Structure 1
Amino acid sequence: MSIEYFVEGKVIVQTKGDNISFSKGDIVYNSEKSIIQRGAETGVSYGEPRKIHPNDKPINGLEISLNLFFDGTGNNKSNTEVRKVGNNYYKKHSNKKNDSYENEFSNVARGFDATDPSAENQVTEYIEGIGTENLSSDNIVSGQGLGMGRTGVIAKVTKACMKAAAKLKRYRGKKIDLLKVNVFGFSRGAAAARHFVHLACTPPRISYSQGKNILKVFPPYHFPEAILSITDSDGTKLPFIHKYGYFGAQLINSEMSIKKIVFNFVGLYDTVASFGVRHSNDTTDLGLDAINKANFVLQLASDDEYRKNFRLTNINSTNLHGLEFTLPGVHSDIGGAYRNGWEEPENSMHRYEEKTLFKSKNRSECERFQNILIDEGWFTFEQLRIKPISKSKIPGKRHLPAYYSLIGKRILSNHYDKIPLNIMFHYSKQFGIKYLETIIKNTHNIVGTLVPIYNQLLTYTNACNQKRNDYVKGRISGNYIIDMKTINYLDFIKEEDLKKLRNEYLHWSVGYGELVNGENVSGVLPASQRKRKIQNG
């Protein structure tokens, strides 16, 4: 497996002899400044290209790129679209408060919409978020609550195998030398993207009849229409299915002729698997570490998320084949889907973010936490209030003492999520994903007060990238994972810019004491201690 490295500055190649490059296509040099070439004796000359020795000749076969975009829990591009136009499906199926219809587009949906549909040999498919179905009501309990059932992680991956094979049918009858698979995902959709890689590397469940002439291949999730019956009279199909799993079986069923499949690029926005009730075994249950088989993995992780049920699954198993950037913001600041409070009408429930930030029997503790949040820049004094709650007024709670709630209320922009989106564009383009540049420049461009913040965060990502390049060039892994964790964006961003970012753009996801969105750690704590659990993957 090759290892790619990315350079934001100079590349210097020195050799005592000739430096010869062969390519089956063009050789392209791109630079933001000039490209300088020098020859010590006769300068630089371009003559007739030498014929390549047959043993060195690149394969001149058909290569196809398949891009799969797995949306996050409660996110659904189609449902958001019908809400924006006031369609009858929205009126019938939405709860008009906090479901998939009410969300803005996520960065997964935006990435999908930005891909170039006319790009040669590129196929792209979108899979709606966990707990949602197109133009239907959301599945709250088994789907969004547990990530299971017919709208859960495994079901969405099964559906992705079917949809991808159907999309690739346009190449039926052609011999494909290489299928390059790129997967993207946010939240549980990131877990689904990782599970897809696992599924496509794991032999499926098969029963045989007529000797081994008829293969009955069972899907990971039991959709009746997903069960396959494949005739394999000469025994040539079974090895392919064993190697590429249920995904490979779907390709065989679509009469595809594919020599090899590689996992080229994996782009993740804050993997939160939360699969089932017990989450400590999510990596094992879903095979989330199968991404170590990919050429390159990029994860953009949230630094300020600290909900108990939103533990991050890292990408440590990828070692030098991965980069993980920890960015300011909570879960959906990274993956998108927040509405823009600045553009919502005054009477809209989406204009303000109002959260219970802290609870205590002692007002002084609320005041201490209030001061911490003001000092860190999350809120101004005017955006906070301490509310006494008398339990004597609550039926059945009269014997309990009163307590105090610290409540914050702000109007926030959702434009910060363009920063992680543009970082994802930057890296995925280097692995051959083709986008419509007009959409990136006109719809997802970063403007105004976010520009200096974006530039400072880029110095952080470049520092991480350079650290990885040093390891790649040295061909050693060593303490790569440990060393990467010593680089922190806080060392690259100005304090006043971070405070402005927190107050005007970054959301607060924790609802203190709540069952679903409750905190992972309690108490009067600074940002450095308000953290969630992180598990290996």
Structure 2
Amino acid sequence: MSGAVSSARFTLQIPAVRNDFKVLAFEGSEAVSTLYAIKVKLVCEVHDFDMEPLLGQPAFLRFGLDGEGIHGCIEDVQAGESGKRLSHYGLTLVPVLHYLQFSRDQQIFQNQTVPQIITQVLKRHGILADAFRFHVQTLPPRAYCTQYGESDFEFIQRLCAEDGITWHHQHSVERHLLVFTDDTVFLPTLHATTYRQDSAMVAEHPVVHRFSWHARTRTSRVTRRDYDLKRPHLLLESRFVADFTPGLEDYRYPLAMENEKRGKQLARQALERHRADYETAEGQSNQPTLRCSHLFELTEHPRKQCNGLWQLLEVTHTGRQPQVLEEHATHETASADGFTQGYRNSFRAIPAEVVFRPPLSARRPPLVSQTARVTGPKGEEIYCDEFGRVKIEFHWDRAELNSERSSCWVRVSSNWAGNGFGAMTLPRVGMEVVVTFLEGDPDQPLITGCVINKLTPAPYRLPEHKTRTVLRSRSSPDTGGYNELTLEDRAGQELVYLRAQRDMELQILHDSRLEVGRDRRESIQGSSQTSVGKVIAVEAGQHVQIKAGANVVLDAGASITLKAGGHHIVIDEGGIFSSTEIVMGGEVSRDESAKRFASQATGNPAARQTNASQPSPEESELEEEEEEVELEDETPAGITLRIGVFFDGTGNNKANSETVAACYAPDANLAEAAEEIQKHCAAHGYDGNGNSPDNSYGNDVSNIVRLHELYTDHAFEVLPEKTKQASLRVYIEGIGTTADGGDSLYTQATGRGETGVLARVEQSPEKIMEQIRSLIDSNPNALIEKIEFDIFGFSRGAAAARHFANEVLKGKRSILAKALPAGSPSLSSSFDWDPQSCIGINFIGLFDTVAAITNPWLLDFTGANSRNPGLDLKLPEGCASKVVHLVARDEYRENFALNSLGEIDLVLPGAHSDLGGGYLPRAREKLLLSSPVTSTISRSHEATRSAAYVAAEKEAFAWYTKGVIEDDAPGNQLRVALWETPVIQRLERGRSTPDPQKRVYAAAMIERPVHGELSLVYLRIMRELGVRHGVPFEAIDKNDSKLSLPEELIPIHTKLEAYALGNSSVEGLTIKERALLRSRYIHLSAHWNAAKDFNSSDISIVFINRPTKDKQRVIHPHE
């Protein structure tokens, strides 16, 4: 295109540097909330112009007739080729904000708004108030905002996105102004531009010559939820809905919302963000005034809906000025589309009334934990608020305030916190604490513990006193005093030491009992006073000695009786009475009163005995209380019932595998077996030559079955008296299988039907009820007070397990509640299926989830997609105390897409059933490792000379280099498999082709023995993870040969288990150990063996175990 606009001269003005540059061409893009970069090609008569001093200099590229252009700072200069007169140079114009990408900081901002925070960051880089402007509504200040692990630019970008603020630049000859805005009313409006369809005609003024409109499906509903510790019972949830179909929701937690109004605002902004590009337009023009974040009006478009105001999101500027070349140049200025001269742009826009919200930045890498120092006001040793929160200072915080202003209030984790009860130990100023971060967010610190250092050492010197467990406090203000509880565990010196710096009070509301095995000594410096409401009884086996330095006073309101040697003295209101004469100074006392007492005492012994046998009212009351306690103890207490539910995988069936266990055992020798065993095995597809059936009778038991057998089961046991817990185990047959019956090929292919994934979940309550009834039959007085589930699954069984877990979480609406409704005789009166109090999930253990639900009736033939209708596979955060998902690293079959659990996934070596089990202990793989390739050659030629053979041979060699075969193992083969079919002769004028042809098929093929014990490693890993989280698994029997690990797998198991338990950050397998797994234990699950009788077919569907195209597993996110 040529003409007035196209002939415009482009210039580059660099005020600080004298230059003779002429603009040859330029190109670059500017977009909303994005850094722009304009690359400029220049020519100059100076051949050795020093470009380096230009770096950082301001410059203005003018490309419009009315002075329109783009201002920026010079970055990325270059000197190019030189001609006879002109030399080529290049540079890039960027905004000042560009340089903030190269500056990183870690700092904390408190009680500041986003504009205030951004202003601080910009001013630190010399970008003063006249270089930027905010057009935003008043925003609430952020109580605590952390820049961590981000560049200054990334930090600003994130803050703007979180608060729905966009930014752009407005250009003039002198500067580029950075503008922040959150409303379209602040966007500049450009003059109208006419639409003229692209043609060979030259327009007299700038026009839009291409314009297309697009609409897309987007989220229509946003829900945000948060939690406020000051209002824990209040549901902080905000929704914002757009009236569009389909109803697609974005639900997220948490979202920092100070109040409901702010929550509503953030939910609205989130929906605006989702729907910003619901309706977009793309176009091309030669209008030089177009800039991003400007409004422009389009007119005279034949489609009426296109005429009107549009908001520019992105503009790409292109200019070419070949006339500055006055000689032949080596640089070609023409583009592929024929554009050779002038200015043009392309743009993307949305309707002006749509509020554009920038996309949220990629989430920062989660911050796991750090240590920090507790701070507070000067002179304070303990500083906290009403919630026990404290202030801290991180070691990286360069502000070094070391005061109550160092951070926000940080919550302190406790091992027990209830309504007015629990444990309380507040970190004190100066202590070093361990800080974790909720959701990995640096803005949400949480103190989980304290650590010692040189300044805050342990109460006793280590390691000398390593056997001591100590709880020692410190008087505050610090006077050197302390309270202490110490447990000394050194053998022979065991001691419990309790120290009170000042006073000690014990309050016991019922009984107190003290039993001392040897001596007891008390040393009291002051006075001792004992006050007893009823009776004091002191009994000694030999002596009771009371000694006073001055006086001993025995004071009784009624009487005092002294007994010894069969005699006694009574002192009461009537006087002193003795059972015999009192010898005083060696003479007998003649006191008549004593004699009268003696006669009364000896004359009516029965009366005294009767009185002694009558209990006092106080003693009667105590006896009644004891009887009540005994009666209460006899009342049956409720039990917590642990139920382990085990969902087996597709094609796995405990009963069917056990039926033929003798046929595939490692030591099985069918040739020598009894005739009836041979017949039994042959009837199920075992021929004695290593061949096994391709159904549930051809698999070993899976790890689901093994874990089921290890799970403690009390179904038929009488529980011990006063027991508080019982456990049951429930096995759910694998998808597509029936015990002692045939398999359903339809279900195994689709996951649907009467033995499909959903059906297994629906059948689970009946299986569970069978076990509960057995337990109650054995223990008729047992009442279930709480039910906790441990849920396990493999493959599609793992998908069923995830769906079952979500069913449990429904509580009163679940299928379980319908099978065992509240009020049933076996349930306690308080049991109501409430997920908060009556039911829960302790552990979810999954092996390689593959849902793979297909629906042939809807032409859905592949399990590789994420369409799994009816299944709820998303496990809510916190749904169980522990969730484990072991994922097969070496599985990449197209039909075995992984339904991921995100960060929970623990990826380990092996194929699908190497983790979940089911492979036979000893098997022989005979597989095509590559897709059969074909070529047509003369029948007289050897097939090994065909192109197909050469291609397959290369593939076979590639597999050899992967170490999948042991060179010295007998019977191992890695070769090219060949088969041929004749080409039907075509007739030419009644005669056949003189050179008959044949079609050669070739593929890389492997034949090797492979072992199945790798799954036993993962059995142990899953069991250990379960045990550590309270799953009632029994120990693996070391004498059970079926569960024994080969010696060569023991070190591998040790390393992988340490990795799975988090004791090691890496697998740690050596090269030799990895090679051993590849060549002997990891099955080649992905291969090109066709379904029966289809080896010469190229129809992909018959290759049911074919690998993905890039041999990378398809992974569906946890949604």
TM-score w.r.t. the length of structure 2 is 0.35
Alpha carbons of structure 1 residues 513 and 408: separation in structure 2 relative to 1, 3 Å: closer
Alpha carbons of 1:65 and 1:282: their partners in 2 closer, same or farther (altered >3 Å)? farther
C-alpha distance after superposition, 1:412-438 (max 9, x if no partner): 111111111000000111222222325
The corresponding residue for 1:333 is: 914
The corresponding residue for 1:417 is 1015
SS of alignment partner, residue 289 of structure 1: coil
| 1:112-511 alignment, distance < 5 Å | 112-118=708-714, 121-141=726-746, 143-169=747-773, 170-171=775-776, 174-202=782-810, 241-242=812-813, 245-252=814-821, 255-257=825-827, 258-259=831-832, 260-277=838-855, 278=860, 279=863, 280-282=865-867, 285-290=870-875, 292=877, 293-316=879-902, 323-341=904-922, 351-358=923-930, 359-361=932-934, 362-380=948-966, 382-392=972-982, 401-439=999-1037, 442-443=1040-1041, 444-463=1043-1062, 489=1067, 492-511=1068-1087
Deviates more, 1:81-90 or 1:370-379: 81-90
After TM superposition, give the deviation of residue 446 of structure 1 in Å. 2.8
2:699 to 73, 83, 103: 103
More strand by share: 2
Amino acid at match of 1:180: E
CA positional deviation for 1:282: 4.3
The CA distance in 1 between the partners of 2:1083 and 2:869, in whole Å, is: 31
Q: Given residue 457 of structure 1, which amino acid in structure 2 is its aligned partner? A: L
Tell whether the 8 Å contact from 1:197 to 1:291 is kept in structure 2 after alignment: no
Q: In 2, are the aligned partners of 1:90 and 1:101 still within 8 Å (CA)? A: no
Contact 2:960 2:974 in 1 (8 A): no
> How far did residue 517 of structure 1 move?
3.0
What is the RMSD computed on CA atoms of the aligned residues? 3.8
Q: 1:155 to 1:255 in 2, by over 3 A?
A: farther
Q: For residues 87-117 of structure 1, what are the alpha-carbon distances to aligned partners after superposition, in whole Å with 9 as ceiling and x for unaligned? A: 8996798455121112111110111112223
Q: Distance in 1 between matches of 2:985 and 2:734?
A: 39
CA distance in 2, matches of 1:367, 1:425: 44
CA 161–451 in structure 1, closer or farther in 2 if over 3 Å, else same:
same
Q: Residue by residue, what CA displacement relative to the aligned partner does 1:326-383 show, whole Å, maximum 9, x if unpaired?
A: 1111111111111122xxxxxxxxx411111113343333233323322221124652
CA separation of 1:87 and 1:255: change in aligned 2, threshold 3 A: farther
Deviation at 1:147, TM superposition (A): 1.1
Give the SS at the match of 1:297. strand
Give 2:468's aligned amino acid.
Q
CA distance in 1 between counterparts of 2:1057 and 2:644 reads 26
Aligned residue for 1:252, secondary structure, equals coil
Letter matched to residue 246 of structure 1: I
Residues 32-89 of structure 1, C-alpha deviation per residue, up to 9 Å, x if partnerless?
xx984343777425489x88999xxxxx852110001111111111111122367899
Q: Which amino acid aligns with 2:1104?
A: N
* Structure 1 residues not aligned, in runs of 5+: 2-11, 24-33, 55-59, 203-239, 342-350, 467-486, 523-528
What SS is found at the alignment partner of 1:412? strand
How many Å separate the matches in 2 of 1:315 and 1:128? 24
User: Using the alignment, how far apart are the partners of 2:728 and 2:1107 within structure 1?
Assistant: 40
Distance 2:741 2:867 in 1: 28
C-alpha contact (below 8 Å) 2:1088/2:1105 kept by paired residues = yes
The separation in 1 between residues aligned to 2:985 and 2:468, in whole angstroms, is 82
| Deviation larger for 271-280 or 298-307 | 271-280
**How far apart in 2 are the matches of 1:352 and 1:383?**
11
Alpha carbons 2:643, 2:729 under 8 Å: kept: yes
Q: Quick one: which amino acid aligns to residue 364 of structure 1?
A: V
SS of structure 1 residue aligned to 2:821: helix
- State the alpha-carbon separation in 2 of the partners of residues 84 and 339 from structure 1: 10
1:114-144 CA distance string (max 9 Å, x none): 2223495001111111111111111112x21
* Aligned CA distance change for structure 1 residues 61 and 535 (closer, same or farther; 3 Å): same
| Aligned residue type for 2:743 | D
Quick one: structure 1 residues 123 and 453, their matched pair in 2 at CA, closer, same or farther if it must change by over 3 Å?
A: same
Matched with 1:229 is none
| 1:513–1:402 Cα change, 3 Å | same
Taking a change above 3 Å as real, the CA distance of residues 52 and 20 of structure 1, as seen in their structure-2 partners, is farther
Check conservation: 2:1013, 2:1046, Cα contact below 8 A: no
Question: Do structure 1's residue 72 and structure 2's residue 662 form an aligned pair?
Answer: no
C-alpha contact 1:93 1:135 (8 A) present in aligned 2: no
State the SS of the aligned residue for 2:887: strand
Which amino acid counterpart does residue 1108 of structure 2 have in structure 1? V
Return the offset for 1:179: 0.7
Output the CA distance in 2 between the equivalents of 1:330 and 1:94: 26
Cα drift, residue 255 of structure 1: 4.7
Deviation larger for 161-170 or 325-334 = 161-170
Q: Which stretch of the first structure deviates more once superposed, 410-419 or 508-517?
A: 508-517
**Structure 1 contact 76–132 (Cα < 8 Å) conserved:** yes
Which residue identity does 2:955 align to in structure 1? F
Secondary structure of residue in 1 paired with 2:1011: coil
Residues 441 and 186 of structure 1, relative CA distance in 2, 3 Å threshold: farther
Mapped partners of 1:132, 1:501: distance in 2: 30
> Is the Cα–Cα contact under 8 Å of residues 82 and 90 in structure 1 kept in the other structure?
no
Residue pair 1:76, 1:128 contacting (<8 A) in 2 also: yes
Separation in 2 of the partners of 1:422 and 1:394?
58
Distance 2:798 2:888 in 1: 13
Structure 1 20/311 Cα, relative in aligned 2: closer, same or farther at 3 Å? closer
- Contact 2:1010-2:1080 at 8 Å conserved across structures: yes
Aligned residues: 425
CA–CA separation in structure 2 for the residues paired with 1:460 and 1:296: 17
SS at match of 1:367: helix
- The code of the aligned residue for 2:975 comes to R
Q: Percent identity?
A: 26
Aligned equivalents of 1:385 and 1:35: distance in 2?
Answer: 63
Question: Which runs of 5 or more residues in structure 2 are unaligned?
Answer: 1-226, 228-370, 375-380, 383-412, 418-464, 473-483, 488-494, 499-505, 511-636, 663-675, 687-692, 718-724, 833-837, 935-947, 987-995, 1091-1101
Asked if 1 retains the 8 angstrom alpha-carbon contact of 2:639 and 2:784, the reply is yes
Q: Which amino acid aligns with 2:845?
A: G
Is the 2:853–2:868 Cα contact (8 Å) retained in structure 1? no
Which protein, 1 or 2, shows the higher relative CO under an 8 Å CA cutoff with sep ≥ 6?
1
Higher helix fraction (1 or 2): 1
